Amino acid sequence: MSSRRKVVRMATDNRTRSPRSRPARQWPSMADVATMAGVSSQTVSRVANNRQNVDSATREKVLSAMQALGYRPNTAARALVTGRFGALGVVSFDVGAHGNARTLAAIADAAREADFSVNFMGVRAQTEAAVRHAFQHLMLQSVDGIVLVESQMLDTPSLRLPPAMPVVVADGDTGHDHPHVDFDQAHGSHSVVSHLLGLGHRTVWHLAGPVDSFAARRRAEAWRRTLTDAGAPVPPLVYGDWSARSGYRAGLDLARRPEVTAVFAANDQMAMGLMRALHEAGRSVPGDVSVAGFDDVAEAAYLPTPLTTVHQDFEVVGKHCVALLLDQIEGRTDGPLRRAVEPVLVIRSSTASPRPGTSA
């Protein structure tokens, strides 16, 4: 008899019910604090927002009530009213890569100083879909602005960004109207190539980063221009993928050509792989071949042959990104729209004049 009854009920319930569990969280609200302190919730709000028109005695009462209850303002409710989130979005490719990691860290530091948190979305594939997904998630009005650390080129010419969302592009395309922050790659490349030519090398080979990287492309372009301007022959471009492995592979090739006396690698990791290949092939650095990198990673100075490279100050980039974003968020329109950070050539032991007898 009871078995029949059991079957009858229960069917109406999971019909329209959401799969989520209930909030059930019991954070104290302003109302709780207000009750405890014997004031209105608006006064609590004033104290929470540090307004000046609150009597100091009242303020004390409220503060101690907050303390006692462990009150924390509810970001969601606040954001709903103010339209501000206290968060910046960062969309970036592979953070395992040195430059991107440093940039992210710098942005996060700068953001923290401005009392913003950083909502990070990593993008693995360089497809439009992946980037769009990352943006969509951030664009759900949960950040006040987005830094796009573009670095890699996409198949699509332009992303559709919501007009009301402040955006800053770092290390990326400049063919758009968003403010952007970049290292002056051309300057960096130029200083390396000039340095090597100045040492007496007939020309400088270039081990470039992947074709789909903005930075790699700019470094390569500046390399070519510097050679051309100096009247030096332009050797064929060699491509790597930023990894030490790819530098090694390219190095095996380059080591076989006696006419190669100077190589400018587009980053330090590739320079390391390159040096290893040269070493294996019995060509000394910088005796037979001069090698220069780009980035100045922490260990560049401590390689068997300390690496001549280009130092980049990521801290400054992060600060600039956040500053430009805050300009937009807070409605300032008088700030600059482009900030370039000058990299600095650091000359160590991996570059030297070519041996008198060589190919020149």
Amino acid found at 31: A
301 sits in which H/E element: none
Site for a copy of itself in 176-205 (CB under 8 A): none
Q: Which residues are near DNA by CB under 7 A? A: 11-12, 15-18, 20, 22, 27, 29-31, 38-43, 45-46, 48-49, 52-55, 57-59, 71, 73-74, 77-78, 80-82
- Rank residues 142 and 194 by Cβ distance to a copy of itself and give the closer one: 142
- Rank residues 63 and 87 by Cβ distance to a copy of itself and give the closer one: 87
Report the distance separating Cα 227 and Cα 49, nearest Å.
Answer: 59
Tokens of 222: 């500046």
Site for a copy of itself in 219-258 (CB under 8 A): 243-245, 247-248
Site for a copy of itself in 70-129 (CB under 8 A): 70, 72-77, 79-87, 90, 94-96, 101-102, 104-105, 108-109, 112, 115, 117-122, 124
Report the distance separating Cα 214 and Cα 219, nearest Å.
Answer: 9
Q: Where are the beta strands (DSSP E) in 244-292?
A: 262-265, 290-292
Mask of contacts with a copy of itself, 140-169, x by CB under 8 A?
xxx-------------------x-x-----
CB of 44 to DNA, least distance (A): 7
Single residue of 156, 299, 342, 359 touching a copy of itself by CB under 8 A: 299
Tokens of 256: 């076989």
| Residue 42 site contact among a copy of itself, DNA, none (CB < 5 to 8 Å, cut-off depends on kind) | DNA
Question: Can you say whether residue 296 is alpha, beta or left, with left for phi > 0 and alpha for psi between -120 and 50 degrees?
Answer: left
State whether residue 359 is helix, strand or coil.
coil
Report the distance separating Cα 152 and Cα 247, nearest Å.
Answer: 19
- Rank residues 23 and 356 by Cβ distance to a copy of itself and give the closer one: 23
| Residue 30 site contact among DNA, a copy of itself, none (CB < 5 to 8 Å, cut-off depends on kind) | DNA
| Residue 330 site contact among DNA, a copy of itself, none (CB < 5 to 8 Å, cut-off depends on kind) | a copy of itself
CB contact at 8 A, 314 and 102: yes
CB of 291 to a copy of itself, least distance (A): 12
- Rank residues 115 and 334 by Cβ distance to a copy of itself and give the closer one: 115
Report the distance separating Cα 161 and Cα 170, nearest Å.
Answer: 15
In 3-state terms the chain splits into helix, strand, coil percentages (rounded to 5) of 45, 15, 40
CB of 280 to DNA, least distance (A): 60
| Residue 333 site contact among a copy of itself, DNA, none (CB < 5 to 8 Å, cut-off depends on kind) | none
CB of 98 to a copy of itself, least distance (A): 8
CB of 142 to a copy of itself, least distance (A): 4
- Rank residues 69 and 346 by Cβ distance to DNA and give the closer one: 69
CB of 59 to DNA, least distance (A): 7
Length of the chain: 360
CB atoms within 10 A of CB 12: 8
Residue 202's alpha-carbon distances to 180, 259, 316, in angstroms, are 36, 9, 35
Nearest to 122 by CA among 153, 145, 102, 148: 148
Q: DSSP secondary structure string, 274-290?
A: HHHHHHHTT--TTTT-E
| Residue 279 site contact among a copy of itself, DNA, none (CB < 5 to 8 Å, cut-off depends on kind) | a copy of itself
Q: Which residue has the tokens 């200083």?
A: 191
CB of 141 to a copy of itself, least distance (A): 5
CB contact at 8 A, 248 and 277: yes
- Rank residues 41 and 305 by Cβ distance to DNA and give the closer one: 41
Q: How many residues bind a copy of itself (CB under 8 A)?
A: 79
Single residue of 53, 56, 158, 333 touching a copy of itself by CB under 8 A: 53
Report the distance separating Cα 134 and Cα 123, nearest Å.
Answer: 7
